[in-house]
Every structure is written in C-alpha cells, then in structure tokens.
Structure 1
Amino acid sequence: MLTSDNKRVSDSRRVFHHVLSDLEKGITSPCYLLYGEDEYLVKEAFNKILDRLLPPEDRAFNFILFEGEKEDITAVCRALLLSPLLPSRKVVALRNTNLFQSPRVLPELIRKIREELNNNPDRAAIYFHRFLRIVGWSIEDLKDGGWQGITDEQWQEAVPGDRGEDRADWLPKVLALPLPPMDEKAQDDGEKLLQLLSSGLPEKTHLILTAHAVDKRKPLFKKIEEIGVVLAFSQPKGEKERRLLFMEIAGEFLQGKGKTLSPTAWEVLYDRLGTDLESLRQNLEKLITYSGERSVIEETDVTQIVGKVREETIFDLTNALGERALQSTLVILNELLRKGTHPLVILKMLIRELRLILYAKLLLPASAMDYNRFQRELLPKLRERQNLGVLSGQNPYIIYKAMVNARKFTEERLIALLEELSQLDMAFKTSSVGEKVLLERFFVSACS
C-alpha cells in the first residue's frame, strides 16, 4: 500500500511523516513493517506509530509485545485472532523479527556481529544464531577449529556478498562466547503469518513488525507491501544528510517542548554529538531543564551542559597516530564508535585533521609554545597572512593543535597517510569488509 523502500533518508522521513499524518486522521493499515540499519530511527518510528494507534491508557489489555530473539509465530498469530478485551484498537508487535532474513542479508548480519562482539557479546551471539540458521551450519560444525576447514569458495557460496577475507578476525571470537543451544525453529513460520494476513486480520487489529534487514523477495514481505505500510530507515550516507537528519529530529523534539536553539548553539551541539541520536535526546532534555523559562537555548548553554565528543577526541586520535601508539588509537576509535560516531564521519574528520596538520607543517614554525603565547605572538601575524590554505578561517585553537601535532609527523608521512585515507574512502564504498575493520587495519598499518 505504502512504502519508503529504496528512498533517500529525506524521502523516507517524508513518507514516515505522511503515515503519522494519516494515523492522526484515523487512516490506519492492518500491518506496519519498519526495518533498517539505523536502530534509533526504527525505534522512534515504532513508538510514534504505536502512540497513534493505541494510547498508553489502553495498552494494559490491548497491546501484546513479542521479541524476535525468542519469537513464537504461532503465539503471534493466536494473539492477532483474539478479540480485544476493551472496545478499541488492538496492537500486536513483533520486534527484531527474523522472518524476512535470507542469504541476501548475511553480509549485514556479519557486520552487526563484528560491531557487537566487544560491546555487547550477548547481542553478537543472537546475530550469530541467525547467521547459522540461514547458512545451515551448526555450532558444532565450526567449533574446535572446524571453521578453518571452510574454503574461500565454500564460504562465498554459503554467504553470497561476503568474500570472507576477515572471517579469521571475528569467527573464532564469536565461537569463544558462551553460546546457548540453537533453537530449531520450524521453517514455515513465515508461511503461517502470510496465510493469516492473506485471509485478513480482525477489524481494529494491527500488527507492527521491526527488523534489522529484510529479503524483499520473500512472499511475506510482498504481502505486507501490498496490504500495509513498509518503512525503511537507512543511515544517512553523507555529511549533509546526517546534519539535516540531526537538525530535523532535534527540531521536532524541541518544538514539542516550546524551545528552539540559536544558530551558533546548533553548530556547537552538532559538533559535539555528531550522529549520536541516542545522546541527542538525552542532552536535549538536559538543555531544556537548564534553560528554564527561556524559549531559546544559547551556545553558552550547550557548552556548559553537553560534553565534548568529537573535536577533542579527534585531536587525541591524531596525537596517538603521530606517536604510533596503536593501542591508544584503537581505544579512542572504539570510544568514538561506541558514542555513535559513524565510521565515515571518523574518516572525514581524520582527513580534515591531517590536512590541517600538513598545512601547519608547511606554513607554521615548529614551535613548542603554549596556547597563551601562540595567541599573543603568532596568531596576530597569521591573521595578516593571505596564503594559509585550509588553515584560513579556522578556530585559533584548532590551528594551534595542528601546529603542535605537526611536530610528530614528517611531511612525507602526512602525504602517505592522506593517500591511504583516500584509498580507504574508496574501500568504504566498494569493499565487503566492514568499515570498522577497515579503520582498524588502517591504524595497524599507520602505527607500524
């Protein structure tokens, strides 16, 4: 009926708002499928659709929630057919379902396993179970070195879209986790739900499903696309899209609270939080409380309340890179990723910072002066110069940090690192290897 599939983030948001507008007018669909790699946006959509379908005061009896980690489709179908206990709408929700997965989603599953291995091993184990169920392998097949017997050809046949070049980096680690026994599920779960949806749900009964990834060829997906609403939530790819999404989500939240941000406050907030949408909501709530009766949140409010995330951390990262301190660079990298900074944003910040350092190396004195002396003696002279390249117009502190870090690099090494980062940018777009792994490999090479 309605789909945002294969659209840009801005288009998907437009379709999503159209769905919310319909719900506010009482126009509903029997089924809603929300999926995508951006878990925050999927969760936000789930909550907003649920709020409009069923207000909180009606949920005690008319809302039934199932989780995909332990999904029981027979129970889901039974819940959909039960009459509501109150004379209002009934909502059955199945979050993080496996129903739409097939070999086409395996590369995405592998990426999620790698991402969660260190920070959330329980979640990594859940993704690994899904991986095994799709490829038809068992834990026993792979344990005790059994995975090493899989040839590249066998891997690529079982896992289309993944060349398996880095499986030695993650597969032994996930096999070392305390993996629970696999739940041997019936293979007709999708068929059960398909038959029910084809025959029609009871009046005023609605199903909401969320998934990380889907195979659009599956009959169940096509049926939901035909009778219901399908919304895809991908992560924004470019800096412009990320900034627009950040401002849209923040603007919507602030508008609901009767607040807004001054132009400079927007810049500082984005600079400190990047694409960390979870932290955005938490920090906006703090800013609303801190600003009291004022309707406009100012830059000084943001600097007081929101911790520095990106700029200072990227200084630390390039500092560790200059000292070839591999362990430190990997710790800082993982901290940036944990806070929600997209790998592409890290790559772009690294390129920007190393370019600044290169220009500082070429144009500024190799001085060990402190920041106060820099402001007093060197900064006035720099403001008179016209040929500072990328240093022109930069914050004085950023220029100072670039000058300090320039002492740790040779000109030749800076040029070589920028060339490697340019190749890494291309690999982000073309390689089947995960972006986090590519960044780690770059730092291992750069610090050797």
Structure 2
Amino acid sequence: MDAKQAFRSIKQGSTAPIYVCYGTESYIMNEFIERLLEKLVEPEHREMAVVRFETGETPLDSIIEEAETLPFLVPSKIVLVRDSVLFASGKESSRVEHRPERLLAYMGQPSETTVLVFIVPHEKLDERKKLVKTAKSNDSVISFTPLQSEELLQWLLKRVSNQGRSMANQAAEELLRRVGTDMHALAAETDKLCLHAGIGGTVTTESVNALVPIATEQNVFRLTEELAALRTAEAITLYYDLLKQREEPIKLMALLVRQFRNMLYVKELGSQGYSPQQMASQLGLHPYAVKITGEQARKFSQERLASMLSELADLDYSMKTGRIEKALGLELFLLKTGSAGAS
C-alpha cells in the first residue's frame, strides 16, 4: 500500500500487526510512525510501550522474542526495528546472525498485543527475498516516496492552514525555491513563517524573502538560471554573496557540475520519452528538482551542456593543481559562460 492508504487506515482506526515501511522520504515515514504511536500508546506510557532495535546490532531471535512477550502494565506495545539487512536491496552486512525463518513464522501468527514495525530507509526492497514476498502478500509493506511537485506545494499550504494561517501559491513556490525539497527543513521554515504571521495572518512572498535564507544548493539553481538568461552581472553578484558566506569555490563548482550533468541527463531522457516521474527514479532526484532542472535544461542545447561540463572538468584540474586561484577560476568560468549564452 502507499502512504496515503496507510494514513487513512490509521485515521479510520484500523492498524496491522506488522508494517514494513521503506522509502527515501523520511519525514513522511516518521510522521506515519508518530500517528501510529498516537493511536496505540498514551503519551505517559511511551517509555514502557515502545521498544527500539536495529538489525545491525540485535539478532532477529531477540526482536521476535520481544514482540511475542506480553506488554507490561500497558494494553499494547510497538516494536520499532531499523533495518538495512533483512528487507533492503543493498549489500549492507550485519555483525550479528539472523534467522529469517523465525520472522516468517511470526508473520503467520503475529502477537495480538504488539505492532511490529520495520523501518527500511532504502529506495527499494529486495524482491527476491521470501520475507519481502510474504510481507507484500500480507499487505504489510508501505512505500514512502518523495511527493510530486504539486503534492509538495499542497502539503505546504495545508501545513500553513492547519496552523490558522493562509499562504498564497506564489509564496509557497518561493519557499520551495529557497529551501529545496527537504521536508524537515521545509516544515521548520513554514512553522517559523506561521509564527511570524500570527493567528489569522498571511504568509507572504515578502516575509519568505525576508526570513528564509537560501540554501547553498538552491543558490546554485539560481546561478544556472542567471547564466541561462544571460544575466551575467546577477550571476557574479550571487557568486560573490556565496563567497562572503565562506562557501568554498570547489564545493560550488561540484554543485554546478552536478546541476549541469542533471540538466544534460534530463534533456537526454526527455528526448527518449521518459516521464518526469521516471526521470526522478532514474536519476535519484526529487520530482520537484526534476521539474526545475527540466525548465533550466530547455534553455541550453545538449552540445552546450556537454561543452560546459568539459570546461568544468578542465577547471577542476587547474584549481586542484594550483594552476589557477580557485575563486578567480570559477569567476572567469561564470563570466565566460554568461557571455557565451546557452546555445
């Protein structure tokens, strides 16, 4: 099932004895677990009713024994297990030995007083494993994938509304441009803006600009936008601001390389008929980042992007071997790129 279905089930009072939560959107996954705790455990009982393990440190036998043990002084308990060994598709090894058959047996007859939750912070599960197949057949698996760009926008607006404030789409879009797609950072900045707006107030674009600093990675997005629009002066001003913030030129160059490379990939995948969602999965990017990258990529030809990546590779070598001063080298690249344009 997906995250929306899982949240809906809890809201309707229905919980399962076992959950396997996986995906890269840790904010929504943590929120789901919090809702589960609110539903099953009184706040004052959490110390006795919540048990945490990691499969990298604790044998599966001990975890199942805890799940099968009756809760002490509380009606039910939750066993939270962080896992990168049993269900994950990665190659991470465990320092302890596990017997998967023990969990398979438990899945067939889970405890009525325990909710067992496996937290798998990986994009995919290992579909070859019997544990994964059994969990899926029991409808115990929940995927937590990044929100689409429109969903992320609506999530921001809803978070503001839930706090008794309002926010225009334009202000929400500016917040995304400044912070990026990290939902933990977005939540913190949104709450700060709501506090500033006051009950019944409005979060405006002006308050976003005044109160929310631009993340370094988002500044690199802006740098590429300025270069594509031939606004060289603005690009250089932004670069100077980043240097004043003690950002390293080599780090900025690495971020530029990544962005230009992603733009080239998006352009190539788009020509092959890939959808934005498929591109996001292929490139390991958030759907919103794919949307912005695609908009920027349209302003450059594939040949120009390939040429800039080659120039940046040469610049990287020159900077690291001392042939050119780092800050000056990147500034000259920005001047040359801005004057040459995107074609």
The equivalent of 1:204 in structure 2 is 113
The equivalent of 1:230 in structure 2 is 141
* CA spacing shift, 1:64–1:53, aligned 2, 3 Å: same
* CA distance in 1 between partners of 2:252 and 2:12 (Å): 54
The equivalent of 1:305 in structure 2 is 211
Q: Is 2:253 aligned against 1:329? A: yes
The equivalent of 1:388 in structure 2 is none
1:345 CA drift (Å) = 5.8
* CA spacing shift, 1:341–1:260, aligned 2, 3 Å: farther
TM-score scaled by length of structure 1: 0.51
SS at match of 1:288: helix
1:315 CA drift (Å) = 4.1
* CA distance in 2 between partners of 1:44 and 1:87 (Å): 23
* CA distance in 1 between partners of 2:43 and 2:258 (Å): 38
Q: Is 2:156 aligned against 1:253? A: no
Q: Is 2:284 aligned against 1:284? A: no
The equivalent of 2:132 in structure 1 is 221
1:291 CA drift (Å) = 1.0
Bigger mean CA offset, 28-37 vs 294-303: 294-303
Aligned residues: 265
The one-letter code sitting in structure 2 at the alignment partner of 1:63 is: V
Q: Is 2:100 aligned against 1:193? A: no
> Which of 30, 42, 56 is 2:29 aligned to?
42
Per-residue CA deviation, residues 380-400 of structure 1 (Å, 9 max, x unaligned), is xxxxxxxxxxxxxxxxxxxxx
* CA spacing shift, 1:100–1:32, aligned 2, 3 Å: same
The equivalent of 2:175 in structure 1 is 269
Identity %: 20
> Which of 92, 100, 103 is 2:79 aligned to?
92
* CA distance in 2 between partners of 1:341 and 1:304 (Å): 28
1:230 CA drift (Å) = 1.4
* CA spacing shift, 1:263–1:231, aligned 2, 3 Å: same
* CA spacing shift, 1:87–1:308, aligned 2, 3 Å: closer
Q: Give runs of ≥4 in structure 1 deviating > 6 Å.
A: none
Structure 1 unaligned residues grouped into runs of 5+: 4-11, 110-129, 134-181, 359-404, 416-448
Over alpha carbons, which structure has the higher Rg?
1
* CA spacing shift, 1:207–1:406, aligned 2, 3 Å: same
The equivalent of 2:61 in structure 1 is 74
Q: Is 2:4 aligned against 1:27? A: no
**1:348-363 equivalences in 2 (<5 Å):** 348=294, 350-351=296-297, 354=300
* CA distance in 2 between partners of 1:311 and 1:288 (Å): 22
SS at match of 1:66: strand
* CA distance in 1 between partners of 2:76 and 2:200 (Å): 40
Structure 2 unaligned residues grouped into runs of 5+: 228-234, 240-248, 263-283, 305-333
The equivalent of 1:314 in structure 2 is 221
SS at match of 2:125: coil
1:329 CA drift (Å) = 1.1
Provide the alpha-carbon RMSD of the alignment. 3.5
1:189 CA drift (Å) = 2.5
* CA distance in 2 between partners of 1:327 and 1:207 (Å): 42
* CA distance in 1 between partners of 2:300 and 2:200 (Å): 40
